[in-house]
Structure 1
Amino acid sequence: MSSVIEMSESFASFESFESFDGTAISWQQLGSGPPVVMVHGSGGGLHSWQPVAERLADRFELWTPARRGYAPSGAGRSPKCFTDEVGDLRTLIDKIGCPVHLVGMSYGATVALHAAAAGLPVRSLVLWEPPLYAAGEKLTPVLAEFEDLTAHGDRRRADRLLAEKVARVPAKLLDLMDAVGADDDDPSDAPGWCRDLESMAADSVGVERWSAVTVPTLLMRGADTWEPMPATLDRLATALPHVTYVTFPGQMHFAPSLVPEDVAAEITRFLPRS
């Protein structure tokens, strides 16, 4: 227990670097071993990967940046595109000084794919449910509505909009979430969500393009995650030349937070220790 407490305390502080366009990117580092960069998803931040990272720190040197738009990192320019995210990762990897294993969660997994396709020095990829179906001009009106709702302080409706139009959560599950009456998300992540929607709106839904990613890749998903995620990931698994495809029984999109020990174990099995 004491070792977990010590590792949790190490996440309390952070450092920052200046990215390619002057945007300040904050990061935390934990553990020792081969370097692993862990990229969080939309609505996340420095602590998104913490439950998993704490279970990997005895084997790997873990770097967990807060992506641009998410405090304490800077907002960055608008509109954002995936090229900006790749530039931030390039700057971080240059700082680390050697090729890294790149781990991405949700939107962060899409960032990881773009980074590998752009030729960054990546030894392998670990991807948790990249939402590749959520892309294109159809998201532009979603962005406009989200900005309007958050500007008027209506975060509950804004979150429902994201769940329905971006994540495509089934209506029954959306109604259950409303019935539970969970607390509103921290409104400070609204700028990050806006920038992420900009990137997705400027991207395409084509999956075959990822056949150019030739590094070993671990692709993970929950068995109970709703469509169109499973069908999209099945196509991605077919497109990737060197893929290990793992499904977690009884889990949905939130497994890295709900069963971090299982996710960490799968990552440990996949990544080399040297």
Structure 2
Amino acid sequence: MDMEFVDEGRGPVILIVHGGMGDSSAWARVVRPLTNRYRVIRLHRRQYRLDLVRAEPVTIAEEVDDVLALAGTVGEPVLLVGHSSGGVIALEAAAAAPALFAGLFVYEPPAVIGAPLGGRPLCAARAAAAAGKPGKAIAIFERDIFGAGRVARTVFRIVVAAVPQLRAYVPRQLDDVAAIDSLGPRLDSYAAIELPTVLLGGDRSPAHLGERIDALCDVMPNARKIVMAGQAHNANDFAPRRLARLVEGFAAEVAAE
């Protein structure tokens, strides 16, 4: 299958794997200041390509294959950036083919570290989506899986109800959670990743995301944690220049090694 991606700028390569409920445009404002010094490739994940109609849900393995294929075309190790569920894909790609990557920058990956990410709430959310109630489905996801606060849940539900594209993403988001759960705990595999790694979190994010980052930091030999003050899970929307500076700083650090 042909991949979709945006390729901008010139210089050392940064490959970005976006998170759920969106596409590669979610990181456009972060990328803008980076393209002065870097070639930035934003993969549009097949999980969220609405032009693809499939009988079976997209798997993590398929999305990892896309990342590896795209990284393999560059001809030199790339800095791999992954956000949210895209961060899980980035971890899996780095574990599968570390030689393709110069470093790993992962923003709040919901990696399974114990109980499944979705569990019973995922079943309830899928039932709501199947009944034609995407607003209810995403409300269950935000409350019982992601762990968003009441105000954030209310705002997001209103936005999803108002934007047809977001409504279409809801079942893809639920498939995304199921795909992560199908991996199960993978800390042993991630412990073998020796790449320099930044694990980014926000101090306003749900606590479980910080716990997942801490678990990764405990096992990954060259990982360090950075926390963005005043930010939650979507600094790409609310603090894109700050996020760009963090990515750029790490890219320069990796290049100097």
TM-score, length-scaled by structure 1: 0.81
**Using a 3 Å threshold, how does the CA distance of structure 1 residues 30 and 176 change in structure 2: closer, same or farther?**
closer
| Alignment partner of 1:107 is 2:85 | yes
Q: Work out whether residues 133 and 228 of structure 1, in 8 Å CA contact, stay in contact via their aligned partners in 2.
A: no
Q: Work out whether residues 45 and 63 of structure 2, in 8 Å CA contact, stay in contact via their aligned partners in 1.
A: yes
**Using a 3 Å threshold, how does the CA distance of structure 1 residues 111 and 194 change in structure 2: closer, same or farther?**
same
For 2:119 and 2:90, the matched residues in 1 are separated by 23
More helix by percentage: 2
| Alignment partner of 1:219 is 2:199 | yes
Aligned partner of 2:56 in structure 1 is: 78
- Displacement of 1:180 in angstroms is 8.4
Aligned partner of 1:6 in structure 2 is: none
How many residue pairs get aligned? The number is 249
Aligned partner of 1:253 in structure 2 is: 233
**Using a 3 Å threshold, how does the CA distance of structure 1 residues 135 and 95 change in structure 2: closer, same or farther?**
farther
Aligned partner of 1:98 in structure 2 is: 76
Aligned partner of 2:129 in structure 1 is: 150
- Displacement of 1:206 in angstroms is 4.6
Deviations 1:36-68 (A, max 9, x none): 110001112020111111121111111111111
1:163 aligns with one of 138, 142, 153 = 142
- Displacement of 1:103 in angstroms is 0.2
Question: Residue type of the partner of 1:235?
Answer: A
For 1:160 and 1:227, the matched residues in 2 are separated by 18
2:95 aligns with one of 117, 121, 124 = 117
For 1:167 and 1:180, the matched residues in 2 are separated by 12
| Alignment partner of 1:264 is 2:244 | yes
Question: Residue type of the partner of 1:128?
Answer: Y
**Using a 3 Å threshold, how does the CA distance of structure 1 residues 174 and 74 change in structure 2: closer, same or farther?**
same
Q: Work out whether residues 69 and 75 of structure 1, in 8 Å CA contact, stay in contact via their aligned partners in 2.
A: no
Question: Which structure 1 residue ranges, 5 or more long, are not aligned?
Answer: 1-17, 19-23
| Alignment partner of 1:234 is 2:214 | yes
Question: Which structure 2 residue ranges, 5 or more long, are not aligned?
Answer: none
1:53-92 matches, within 5 Å, as: 53-71=31-49, 74-75=52-53, 78-92=56-70
- Displacement of 1:215 in angstroms is 0.5
| Alignment partner of 1:178 is 2:124 | no
**Using a 3 Å threshold, how does the CA distance of structure 1 residues 211 and 137 change in structure 2: closer, same or farther?**
closer
- Displacement of 1:130 in angstroms is 0.6
3-state SS, counterpart of residue 86 of structure 1: helix
- Displacement of 1:96 in angstroms is 2.8
Aligned partner of 1:29 in structure 2 is: 7
Question: Residue type of the partner of 2:39?
Answer: E
1:41 aligns with one of 19, 35, 45 = 19
Q: Work out whether residues 75 and 192 of structure 1, in 8 Å CA contact, stay in contact via their aligned partners in 2.
A: no
For 1:156 and 1:78, the matched residues in 2 are separated by 23
For 2:246 and 2:119, the matched residues in 1 are separated by 36
Structure 1 stretch displaced more, 220-229 or 56-65 = 220-229
**Runs of 4+ displaced beyond 6 Å:** none
Question: Residue type of the partner of 1:214?
Answer: E
TM-score, length-scaled by structure 2: 0.86
Identical-pair percentage? 23
For 1:179 and 1:96, the matched residues in 2 are separated by 40
- Displacement of 1:181 in angstroms is 6.5
3-state SS, counterpart of residue 93 of structure 2: helix
Q: Work out whether residues 108 and 130 of structure 1, in 8 Å CA contact, stay in contact via their aligned partners in 2.
A: yes
For 1:65 and 1:73, the matched residues in 2 are separated by 15
**Using a 3 Å threshold, how does the CA distance of structure 1 residues 54 and 145 change in structure 2: closer, same or farther?**
same
